[in-house]
Amino acid sequence: MPFSPIILWTDALIYVSLGVVLLLISVIRRRPHLLASWQRVGHSASGMSALTILLFFLCIGLLDTVHFRPALEQQNKPGETVYSVEVLSLLDILVTPLRTQVEKTYSAPLATHLYAKETIELADGQQVRDFARLQYGGAHLQHPDSEHIPDITQRALTGALQGLSIWLLLTVGLILVLSQRTKQSFALTLSALCRGSTEIPWNAILLTLLVMLLLIGCTTALAAHYHVLGTDKVGQDVLYQSLKSIRVALIIGTLTSLIMLPFALLLGIMAGYFQGWIDDVIQYIYTTLNSIPSVLLIAAAVLMMQVFIETHPELFETVAARADIRLLFLCIILGMTSWTGLCRLLRGETLKLRELEYIQAAHAFGISHWRIITRHILPNVMHIVLIATVMDFSGLVLAEAVLSYVGVGVDPSMNSFGTMINAARLEMAREPMVWWALLAAFAFMLALVLSANLFADAVQNALDPRAMTIRRTRLLQWPRKNKPQADKSTVPPTPESSRPT
Amino acid sequence: MTAVLRIEHLRTQLHTGMTPVRAVDGLSLNIHKGETFALLGESGCGKSMTALSIMRLLPDTGVITSGRICLNGEDLLQLPETSMRNIRGKRISMIFQEPMLSLNPVLTIAEQIQEVLVQHFRLPRDTAQTRIKTLLEQVGIPDAARRMHEYPFQFSGGMKQRAMIAMALAGEPELLIADEPTTALDVTIQAQVLDLMRQIQQHNHMAILLITHDLGVVAGIAQQVAVMYAGEIVEQASRQVFFDHPAHPYSQQLFASLPEKHKRDQALSVIQGTVPSLAQVFSGCRFADRCSQVMAHCHTTPPDWHTIGRDHQVRCHLFAQATWKPLARISSPNGKAATRPVETQNEPPVPLLQIADLKVHFPVRKGFFQQVVGYVKAVDGVSLTIAAGKTLALVGESGCGKTTIGKSILQLIPSTSGNVRFKQQELTTLRRKSLQPIRSQLQIIFQDPYSSLNPRMRVLEILREGMDALNPAPSKQNSENNTKEAEIDALLQRVGLPTEVKWRYPHEFSGGQRQRIAIARALAVNPQLLVCDEPTSALDVSVQAQILNLLKSLQNNLGLAYLFITHNIAVVEYLADEVAVMYLGKIVEHGQIDEVIGNPKHPYTRALLSSVPKVESDASRVTTLVKGDLPSPMAPPQGCHFHPRCPNAMPICREAYPPVSAFSETHTTHCYLYTSEPIT
């Protein structure tokens, strides 16, 4: 076999959570009322654009999750394959040139020469101090001074054109599918798409996709021969580092939420529902936990873990496994310290719900506590849970950056936005400044966190009935041209809903 | 006489849905100086939107599309917003429904009234303080000089509404708009506030626009009455004429659907259907679909105004011909539906539920270690008996412990001491598990149909939940699902809903329909006793009649016993067999319906009955007002709990709680006015 598959701890957890998400989707598809409110997410233009970007990040993260150890060329004994100690992922294979083309040290984005002067020995034995040519970046150019700019322009344009053609293909395919589904002609569907009168805002999605494909096209075309985002101190490609960081950010965002949720759900609802001494105990726990500075707690726990890893090297086959267990532990610690906010929210909401008359009626039927919690309370607090989780996601990605900056974040061998920022921080002070590492981390994080936030916003709007009314009002104040007739079928709220008591 | 307020063809639209809701659609009215003009209508007919249009305080989604609103000849709709600010609070004041929500909790009463004075009169501080004191004294707040510096939470509900009225009066307005001013208050407090408004109007000669859904309030205070339906006024008359000869079919049917004592043995007449959605464009008469005297052209031609008497106009095709003769209020047109079975008085009724000396005390905790510093004695020694198939009404003001009794019967609230026996079985000592078999025989219907159904469950699941939990009919495993579904269909039909509704979610139903679902849920387990906790107080009059009819027919057909908890005396008179009057955790009077309502003995019962606004045109009815408010159940007064408010209080009343005095086998009261020797 040319490779041996490796499933790291975080990989396994990602697969499990992916399975759970798929399961949830299939459950929602079978419940019309759940489906209806989730379909409203699909009607938000900003939400769907954000989802497009999120999906791109998610794909990269998933590609980076499939880990394996490639077989080595040289074989000690015939019939026995030896696997490399280096754990690679699918993403690593896809972007192999980025990974392997390592320069000596810093080079600016798209540069052909190093960023610092060094002593070069010429062919005649003479020594000059100059900017050395890069080993890979722009190596194909004979006369970098004159060919550099035209070459970049030409490659970028070719890449953009490729991106555009892929986009056109996708668009035509989409319109064909849509026109088949709605049984309308191609032209009609196209005009509906342009006007933005389709139910799902395909025009916004396609626009986002166009921008993304153009960028990706340019980048892939250039990346083969240049370092698009420059290189870092040891000459590693910054674009590669950024791409690798996405998985870490996603893991910290989702795994931490998953670890936090059971605590928050169980303890919050229990405190609100049972009250009495249970409530007191839970309240004291989270008040105490909240009053300990969380960075302190995390630092202590991570350092303890570090000591454990270093004293038990035999437990970890590869460096990747070591880094991975540290990441997992970081997620657990973050999760253990960040459930208090959601827990308090849920306790308050449950306190309100348990006094509602339908809960009282359930008591009158002698329904068990567990059933009341799962059937009556949990569905009615789910909107809070969803919104809080997605909101926390962006906060946790940022928290990782902060913790890595402090030095208690992920393993230094692991690429993450935090380590990138941490490494770039010292170079900000040097002259001339090395700005690209920081900029790359900033841009990727901004895109990820902003799209997560926008998507959370769309989810919140779709699940909150009041927000729906406001949105409808806004539509009325600035009516779109050629509003589809189908809108008439939506039943306006009956005046009876505003009753005096 | 010129009108203080003249509204011409006012149209207000609300843009909350895809189609605009025409909340007010061509409304015209005149209010004269010193006149109380009542705008009467059910919820959702546009009353409050009219008031907010006059104040120009519509929500952001509301737009006045056409019309004129003239205050003493000045068109308010032409004024810029800055001039409008000088009119609000100065020339037009408004009292809102919920006094708890319309006062700012972090400002003292004096500071809030001072805001009005500073805005409109620029009074110096001393003068302002004197003025505030005068105002508060005028609305009957005792010890005003001290209490004006207190915060709203230190005031009771009635006092807050008085303070609100004082604030409204501070600008010496020409027009006072009162939007359901007494709906949130208890009957005794409501009587006080209505009396106060009457006095103030006589004193200040201002015009009052009274917005209400309560015919009793209209009868007590209004001079002119306008009935609003679906965004427009359908009838306008002076009070006398309106209450003697309501002309529009809607008004007539409203009167007919009121529960009253003499309708006891009949079903109430109901207005079919519900208020139409105001988002549609009406082609004919808006009431045509629900009208009992509908004609062919009602659906196609909108009716015009017809003057049928002095000051009496009506918008109905029936009056197009001059042949109309004033007819008295129709009594029940379909009144033979549910005659009660012939009562066999001889055999003694079997007691189904017996409550003996029930006490429910809630501990009040304070401090870091949550020490118990006192008890709220919500229920303090109550004994009741309910016979199978009978209705016992529990009457009292809010906060007297009625609901607590209901919940502690079902063991939803643990009782402190005393016994609850259901069919001779003691319930208070049973554990959660062993209560299970009895749960199916005792069920409860709640007040608010909007919070008593889980919004995330379909009707089918709501109804099945109780059946599954208690499994009252031990059917065999095979085809159990089918029988259950058949049972649910039967239940829905029994409460008058089509069977398809079981696939829908509660938010798709109106208040009355939701209450029907709640009743169906309780019936699903075949109970013998239903605790009805104010089941109709959140509903409109016409819907209330539907629910009362349903409850009555269920009792006749299934032999249910009801514990009917309410503050609505009219409902009690219509439905109950026995009445227990409750005051501060204790029953003060108990007896058969005729004994208590017809011949009330306890001063509190008398006061309660006379406070209830009666739907009569005669406003000169003498009412004995109760002074003051309900004391806190945490520190009930020594002796008889009622003595601080009692007109007949004697020295002995302050010392010990009066013993029971019996007037007949069934009629008892606790009062020193009567001899305590029981009649044997």
Q: What is the pLDDT of residue B329?
A: 52
Distance from CA of A46 to the nearest CA of B (A): 22
- What CA–CA distances, in Å, run from B588 to A63, A468, B418, B667? 77, 51, 18, 11
How high is the ipTM of this complex? 0.79
Q: What is the pLDDT of residue B343?
A: 46
For residue A228, give the amino acid letter.
V
* Residue A298 backbone phi and psi in degrees, to 5: -65, -45
Asked if residue B562 has pLDDT above 50, the reply is yes
Q: What is the pLDDT of residue A63?
A: 92
By a Cβ cutoff of 8 Å, what residues of chain A touch chain B?
Answer: 33, 356-358, 360-367, 371, 375-376, 379-380, 469, 472-473, 476-477, 487-488, 490-501
How many Cβ atoms are within 10 Å of A387's Cβ, its own excluded?
19
pTM beyond cutoff 0.80: no
Distance from CA of B307 to the nearest CA of A (A): 30
Distance from CA of B64 to the nearest CA of A (A): 15
Angstrom distance (rounded) from CA B374 to CA B362: 8
Q: Which one of B96, B438, B456, B537 would you mutate to disrupt binding with A, by most A Cβ within 10 Å of its Cβ?
A: B456
pLDDT level of residue B322 (50, 70, 90 thresholds): low
pLDDT level of residue B39 (50, 70, 90 thresholds): very high
Reported as a single tens digit per residue, the pLDDT across A359-376 is 988 988 888 899 899 989
How many Cβ atoms are within 10 Å of A118's Cβ, its own excluded?
12
Q: Which residues of A touch B274 (CB under 8 A)?
A: 494, 496
Query: B446 at the A interface (CB within 8 A)?
Result: yes
Lowest mean pLDDT across A106-120, B593-607, B612-626: B612-626
Instruction: Work out the average pLDDT over A270-277.
Output: 91
Higher pLDDT, B499 or B532: B532
Q: Which residues of A touch B458 (CB under 8 A)?
A: 33
Whether B589 contacts B212, CB under 8 Å: no
Q: Which of A365, A379, A492 sits opposite B18 (nearest CB)?
A: A492
Instruction: Work out the average pLDDT over B28-50.
Output: 88
Distance from CA of A360 to the nearest CA of B (A): 7
Reported as a single tens digit per residue, the pLDDT across A294-317 is 888 888 888 888 898 889 888 888
Q: Are A365 and B18 in contact (CB < 8 Å)? A: no
Whether A217 contacts A166, CB under 8 Å: yes
Angstrom distance (rounded) from CA A159 to CA A161: 5
- What CA–CA distances, in Å, run from A332 to A43, A255, A269, A307, A389? 35, 8, 21, 17, 15
Closest CA in chain B for residue A470: B16
Asked if residue B339 has pLDDT above 60, the reply is no
Q: Are B18 and A358 in contact (CB < 8 Å)? A: no
Reported as a single tens digit per residue, the pLDDT across A123-181 is 788 888 888 888 888 888 888 888 888 899 999 999 999 999 999 999 999 989 988 88
Angstrom distance (rounded) from CA B223 to CA B208: 10
Higher pLDDT, A471 or B391: B391
Closest CA in chain B for residue A479: B18
Q: What is the pLDDT of residue A344?
A: 92
Whether A260 contacts A339, CB under 8 Å: yes
Query: Which residues, including other chains, have CB under 8 Å from residue A10's CB and lie 6 or more apart?
Result: A65, A251, A255, A324, A327, A328, A331
Q: Which of A364, A367, A473 sits opposite B412 (nearest CB)?
A: A364
Tokens of B276: 């139409």
Asked if residue A486 has pLDDT above 90, the reply is no
Reported as a single tens digit per residue, the pLDDT across B204-247 is 888 999 998 888 888 888 899 999 998 889 999 998 888 888 88
Asked if residue A499 has pLDDT above 60, the reply is no
Angstrom distance (rounded) from CA A461 to CA A464: 5
- Cβ-Cβ contacts under 8 Å between A and B: the total is 124
pLDDT level of residue B17 (50, 70, 90 thresholds): low
Q: Which residues of A touch B505 (CB under 8 A)?
A: 33
For residue B383, give the amino acid letter.
S
What does the CA dihedral A398, A400, A401, A407 come to, rounded to 10 degrees? 150
Q: Which residues of A touch B97 (CB under 8 A)?
A: 500
Instruction: Look over chain B and give the mean of its residue pLDDT values, rounded to a whole number.
Output: 84
Instruction: Work out the average pLDDT over B537-545.
Output: 82
Angstrom distance (rounded) from CA B530 to CA B442: 6
Q: What is the pLDDT of residue B324?
A: 53
Instruction: Work out the average pLDDT over B649-665.
Output: 86
Instruction: Work out the average pLDDT over B22-47.
Output: 88
Query: Which residues, including other chains, have CB under 8 Å from residue B391's CB and lie 6 or more apart?
Result: B555, B561, B562, B563, B564, B575, B576, B577, B578
Asked if residue B323 has pLDDT above 70, the reply is no
Looking at chain B from residue 85 to 124, which residues have their Cβ under 8 Å from any Cβ of chain A?
A: 97
Q: Which residues of B touch A362 (CB under 8 A)?
A: 465
Q: Which of B180, B277, B521 sits opposite A361 (nearest CB)?
A: B521
Q: Are A361 and B537 in contact (CB < 8 Å)? A: no
Q: What is the pLDDT of residue B209?
A: 93
Asked if residue A186 has pLDDT above 50, the reply is yes
Closest CA in chain B for residue A483: B18
Looking at chain B from residue 581 to 620, which residues have their Cβ under 8 Å from any Cβ of chain A?
A: none
Asked if residue A96 has pLDDT above 80, the reply is yes
**What percentage of chain B carries pLDDT values higher than 70?**
92
